[in-house]
Structure 1
Amino acid sequence: MKNNILLYVTIVNVFSFNIYSQKEKFYVTDKISDKYAYVDVIKTYERVAQKGYKSVDLFKKLGDSYYFNAKLDKAAEWYCELFAMNTDLEPEYYYQYAKSLNFIGQNDKANEILEKLKQKSGAILEKKNRNLR
């Protein structure tokens, strides 16, 4: 009986130690990865754009990065580049560009963008209604 109890205690101790050591390993790994995980993406994208690379995806990422960090003046600059390349974009880009333009005081241009958004939204709704029939 004492041998069985001693065996159970030993088994429980081994499993407890094993679980504890696994948790500790994950914790150390997480700490190490936190140290190297941060990269300033906005600065990297800006360097790429300054070297002359232009793409819709790059300008979307730059505009969104500044927009969602409440730097609407910089967002307006990159959304302007985006709309110069392509005007067939998702509706949220029209709204974000218009809001950024309002922030920097270009209200007339912002109203033009909002009109385009209304037209685009109307066309999307009309297309969805045709598909439902």
Structure 2
Amino acid sequence: MKKNRFIYITIIAIFSFKGYAQNSKFYVTDKINDKYAYVDVIKTYERVAEKGYKSADLFKKLGDSYYQNAELEQAAKWYCELFAMNNTDLEPKYYYQYAMSLKFIGQIDKANEMLVKLKQKSEAIAEKKNQKQR
């Protein structure tokens, strides 16, 4: 009888401790949310760009942010700024994302031009890789 009582008390204690732990974590999360303010990074980057600061990194981040949020018009705008800098060392993904953004806004010819450049870039990368392996 004492053994069964001990088992029941142990089970109840475990479940009640687990419940308190979950509530405690939830409370801590609520406190953290009260302390920190949400910062809209995209808007911050846009303000920096509007003030005249230009960098490939800034335009990449803006373009990627809008591309991932399916706002392809805005993505095309910032990728256009990126490619206007005549940066030849861009990763192939930027050519592709810029082309898809251009297709979305109806600039099919320019999008096809970017896809041709993407193909050339990919071939050049593959050729370099093959030369390293030899």
Structure 1 residues 37 and 18: CA distance shift in structure 2, 3 A? farther
Question: What corresponds to 2:57 in structure 1?
Answer: 57
Match of 2:24 in 1: 25
Residues 85-113 of structure 1, C-alpha deviation per residue, up to 9 Å, x if partnerless? 22321111000001111112222211211
Q: How many residues align?
A: 132
- RMSD between superposed Cα atoms in Å: 2.4
Q: Which runs of 5+ in 1 are unaligned?
A: none
Paired residue for 1:74?
74
Residue 48 of structure 1, CA deviation: 1.1
Structure-2 separation of matches of 1:37 and 1:19: 30
- Inter-partner Cα distance in structure 1 for 2:78 and 2:18: 50
What is aligned with 1:47? 47
Q: Which one-letter code corresponds to 2:94 in the other structure? A: Y
> CA separation in 1, counterparts of 2:56 and 2:28?
37
AA aligned to 1:29 is V
Q: TM-score, structure 2 length as denominator?
A: 0.79
What is the aligned-residue identity percentage?
61
Displacement after TM superposition at 1:120 (Å): 0.5
